[in-house]
Amino acid sequence: MRRRRGEGGRHGMPLLPLRGLGHRVIAAVVALLVGVTALAGCAPVEGGAGARFVTPPLVRYSAVLWPVPLQLVGAEPGARLRLTAQLTTSHGSWTSAATYTVPASGTLDLARARPQLAPFTEPDSAGLFWSLRGPHLGDDAAVRQWMRDTIHVTVRAADGDRVVASRRFELTGLAAGVPERTLYTRDLRAAIDARVPRQTHEDVPLGTFFSAASLEHPRAPAVVMFDDPTPGASAEYTAPLIAQFGASVLSIPVSGASDGVRSTGIVSDTTVQAVLDWLAQRPDIVHDQVFVYGTGASEQLAVWAATRFPGRVRGLFVAGGTPALLCLSPAQVAPAFDDSTGLPCLGSPATVVSSAIPSIGNINGPIVVACGKRDDVLPNACDWQRALVATRLSTFGVQTVYADRAGHAVSVPPGLPIGLPAAGGQPTEQARVAFWNAVGRALLRAVLG
pLDDT in tens, 19-29: 333 333 333 34
Per-residue pLDDT, 57: 87
| Rounded-to-5 percentages of helix, strand, coil across the chain | 25, 25, 50
Q: Kindly give the interhelix angle for 235-245 and 426-448, rounded to the nearest 10 degrees.
A: 40
pLDDT band at 12 (very low <50, low <70, confident <90, very high): very low
Per-residue pLDDT, 202: 57
Q: Is the pLDDT of residue 2 over 80?
A: no
Q: How far apart are CA 41 and CA 99, in angstroms?
A: 24
For 42-112, where are the E strands, in sequence order? 43-44, 52-55, 71-73, 80-89, 92-101, 108-109
Q: Is the pLDDT of residue 200 over 90?
A: no
pLDDT in tens, 156-183: 999 999 999 999 999 999 998 899 999 9
Name the residue among 126, 8, 6 with its Cα closest to residue 58: 8
Q: Is the pLDDT of residue 381 over 60?
A: yes
Specify the pTM.
0.89
pLDDT in tens, 325-350: 999 988 789 999 998 788 999 999 99
Per-residue pLDDT, 331: 79
For 115-245, where are the E strands, in sequence order? 151-159, 162-171, 180-184, 205-210, 220-226
pLDDT band at 449 (very low <50, low <70, confident <90, very high): confident
pLDDT in tens, 235-270: 999 999 999 999 999 999 999 999 999 999 999 999
Q: Is the pLDDT of residue 52 over 80?
A: yes
- Residues of the chain with pLDDT > 90, as a percent, come to 77
From residue 7, alpha-carbon distances to 17, 18, 23, 57, 318 in Å are 7, 10, 16, 11, 29
Q: How far apart are CA 399 and CA 395, in angstroms?
A: 8
Q: Is the pLDDT of residue 279 over 90?
A: yes
Q: How far apart are CA 389 and CA 360, in angstroms?
A: 8
221 φ, ψ to 5°? -60, 170
pLDDT band at 5 (very low <50, low <70, confident <90, very high): very low
DSSP per position, 186-224: GGGTS-S-TTS-GGGTTT-EEEEEE----SS---EEEEE
- Pair 11, 37: CB distance under 8 Å: no
Give the single-character DSSP code of 355: G
